[in-house]
Amino acid sequence: MSEASLFSEIWQLYLYQPLVNLLVYLYNNVAAANLGWAIVALTVCLRIVLLPLSILSERNKFLMDEMQKEVDTAERHYRADPIYLKEHVRGLMKKYHIRPWAKTSVLGIQLLVLVLLYQVFITGISGAQLTKILYPSVEYPGKLNTMFFSVQYGAEPADVLAFDIGERSIIWAVLVALVLFVDIAIKLSHAKKEKIKLTGSDLTYWIAFPLASGLILWYLPMVKALFIFTSLMLSYLIALMTHLFWGKKDAAGAHH
């Protein structure tokens, strides 16, 4: 067996097939036969599994803030020796127990699921093709309902704004782009308050990243935007909870 065929078999048996079965299970038992809500439920399940890494990633932010003063001092003292400065910063990261791989792992796994979802909606999950990959314990649902929800905006029957996760949606693409734009704006504002000098590339990123993300999501089926939007909302919830916890802990430490 060639390496390519081995990789394809591993991808199919251990990644694609389990994801499809979980998605159909959620569709049948949790999402009331609505594939859009099944995607939301899948995202929630994924973020619960990744919760330890997500909390570790958020904790790293507080530790980085604590470490920043020592980094600033090191940059002033070792400006002429960038190699030593780099090693010194690595030592500080070990001292403060900062684990940068946590955030990378969370993003990497979510990207993997995005790719798998893209394969699901490109190859299709219906009919005979679906029955071949369903586990015996997962009931065949028949034709899947991809209509997430619709909004009646006028008196006429045709005055309906429908959101089919299998189709492109400029509204959902713009929604994700706006969320990213506001998120970056808040982070830049925080950096400014911390007296961190912003560069032209920071401002370019503020505009370019949300714009590029919106354009890409507009080109792809709405399911991608729905997955990313749900994941972003859960990320903000996790960040808020960890901020409340670590904020109180830091305040208590400062008080004592």
Q: Which residue has the tokens 């394809």?
A: 8
CA distance readout (Å), 164 to 37, 60, 72, 169, 225: 12, 38, 50, 8, 12
175 pLDDT higher than 70: yes
Contacts of 214 (CB under 8 A, 6+ apart): 173, 174, 176, 177
169 pLDDT higher than 60: yes
**Which helix (H) or strand (E) is 148 found in, with range?**
strand 147-152
pLDDT, residue 2, reads 72
Instruction: Name the residue range of residue 95's domain.
Output: 3-166
- Round to whole Å and give the CA distance between 146 and 139: 18
pLDDT, residue 250, reads 55
Least confident range from 20-29, 104-113, 115-124: namely: 115-124
- Round to whole Å and give the CA distance between 74 and 191: 19
**pTM of the full structure:** 0.86
pLDDT, residue 123, reads 77
Among residues 231, 147, 144, the alpha carbon closest in space to that of 183 is found at 231
pLDDT, residue 155, reads 64
What is the pLDDT averaged over residues 220-225? 95
Percent of the chain with pLDDT over 70: 90
Strand partners, 150: 162
Q: Does 213 reside within a domain?
A: no
Least confident range from 94-98, 212-216, 251-255: namely: 251-255
- Round to whole Å and give the CA distance between 152 and 170: 18
Q: Tell me: the pLDDT tens digits for 3-28?
A: 778 888 999 999 999 999 999 999 99
Q: Does 140 reside within a domain?
A: yes
pLDDT, residue 130, reads 86
Among residues 241, 237, 186, the alpha carbon closest in space to that of 210 is found at 186
Strand partners, 104: none
Q: Does 245 reside within a domain?
A: no
What is the pLDDT averaged over residues 114-131? 83
Q: Does 186 reside within a domain?
A: no
Percent of the chain with pLDDT over 90: 51
Number of domains forming the structure of the chain = 1
pLDDT, residue 251, reads 44
Q: How confident is the model at residue 247 (pLDDT cuts 50, 70, 90)?
A: low
Contacts of 51 (CB under 8 A, 6+ apart): 238
Q: Does 155 reside within a domain?
A: yes
Q: Does 87 reside within a domain?
A: yes
Please classify residue 60 by burial: count the beta carbons closer than 10 Å to its beta carbon, then call 0-12 exposed, 13-18 middle and 19+ buried.
buried
**10-20 residues labelled b (16+ CB within 10 A) or e (exposed):** eeeeeebeebb
What is the pLDDT averaged over residues 66-71? 79
pLDDT, residue 254, reads 42
Q: Does 89 reside within a domain?
A: yes
What is the pLDDT averaged over residues 25-42? 96
CA distance readout (Å), 49 to 46, 117, 143, 195, 232: 5, 18, 29, 36, 16
Q: Does 251 reside within a domain?
A: no
